[in-house]
Amino acid sequence: MSEAHKLAEKDYLSGLKYKEIAEKYGVTLNTVKSWKQRHGWSREKGAPVDKSVHTNKGGAPRGNRNALGNKGGAAPKRNGNAIKHGLFRKFLPDDPETREIYDSAGQMSPLDLLWEQIQIKFTAIIRAQRIMFVRDRDDQTKVVKKDLDIGTEYEIQHAWDKQAAFLTAQARAMTALTSMIRQYEEMLRAAPPDELREERLLQIEKLRVEIAKTKGADGGETEDDGFLEALKGKAAEVWADEGAT
């Protein structure tokens, strides 16, 4: 299975569809899509399509009455089926980066999208530990509130105010993260078993350990392992970037 994605990539570049690749290698459709995202499969425009691949002819299946009354069994003119996937794309800003993100998201499975959100949320929580750090009870922050003709008005943020704000924000973030993880686990366990599914379940278990460690940072200690692997290095990059500044 470890080499399957390399062979599958060649099939993808030759023109095979996701479904055909999944059937050939005995994996799920989501697994094939995940391979494409993880290993950066990319077809060049105008790439040849395997002519031996069976394609469905137009029209509804024999006996299907959903399109009854439409010539050739096709959808009626002005039907939204042909444009529903691009309906929102035309309202996006005329920005190449925005459209690239939108198009990439369209190639990802719901599982992949949710896992990306989990990684981003956890990275933000870990990063907040440094940004919101309160040194001690005497740690005060002086912030400019207004610039007046007679002088400058300041706002003093006391240690207890900053700590309370941090704990509130942290609790909300943890609740959101826990909810996303629970949803991800439910979706994952409902998926057909394969190598990728087991790998993702292991990632979730490692992430749970790190969340428990973050929640108990001022209490008991937990083994310091797993979170770099669980995030595939993304949180590590955040710390490295901040350390370089």
Q: Write down the pLDDT at residue 124.
A: 92
pLDDT at 64: 52
Are 42 and 128 members of one domain? no
Q: Tens of pLDDT along the chain (245 residues)? A: 457 778 888 888 888 888 888 888 878 877 888 788 777 888 765 555 444 444 444 455 455 555 554 555 444 444 444 444 566 677 778 888 888 888 888 778 888 889 899 999 999 998 998 888 888 988 888 888 888 778 788 888 888 888 998 999 999 999 999 999 999 888 888 877 776 777 788 888 888 888 888 776 544 333 334 443 444 444 444 445 545 55
Long-range contacts of 130-136 (CB under 8 A, 24+ apart): 130/242, 132/162, 132/165, 132/166, 132/169, 132/170, 134/159, 134/162, 134/163, 134/166, 135/159
Question: Do 231 and 131 fall into the same domain?
Answer: yes
Judgement on whether residues 137 and 97 belong to the same structural domain of the protein: no
In a domain, 55, yes or no: no
Q: Say if 235 falls within a structural domain.
A: yes
Residue ending a domain, among 108, 126, 149, is 108
Do 120 and 231 belong together in one domain? Answer: yes
Please measure the distance between the N-terminal and C-terminal CA atoms of the chain and give it in whole angstroms.
42
Strand partners, 154: 144
In a domain, 151, yes or no: yes
Establish if 158 belongs to a structural domain.
Answer: yes
Task: Give domain status of residue 74, yes or no.
Answer: no
Are 100 and 146 within one domain? no
Question: Which domain, by its residues, includes 98?
Answer: 1-47+82-108
- Residue 62 confidence (pLDDT): 54
The amino acid at 64: N
pTM confidence score: 0.48
What pLDDT was estimated at residue 55? 46
Give the span between the Cα atoms of 69 and 5, in whole angstroms. 45
144 and 95 in a common domain = no
Task: Quote the CA–CA distance of 196 and 2 in Å, as a whole number.
Answer: 10
Same domain as 203, residue 103: no
Q: Does residue 101 sit in the same domain as residue 168?
A: no
Give yes or no: residues 117 and 212 share one domain.
yes
Q: 89 with 145, same domain? A: no
* Residue 180: inside a domain: yes
Q: With respect to residue 203, please indicate whether it lies within any of the assigned structural domains.
A: yes
Domain stop point among 90, 108, 126? 108
Is there a single domain that holds both residue 159 and residue 90? no
Question: Per the domain annotation, does 4 fall within a domain?
Answer: yes
Same domain (yes/no): 153, 234:
yes
Q: Tell which residue, 230, 221, 176, has the closest CA to residue 203.
A: 230
Report residue 197 CA to chain centroid gap.
16
In angstroms, rounded to a whole number, what is the distance separating the alpha carbons of residues 36 and 32? 6
Domain count, the chain: 2
Joined together, the tokens standing for residue 69 give 């009354």
CB contact set of 195 (below 8 Å; sequence gap of 6+): 1
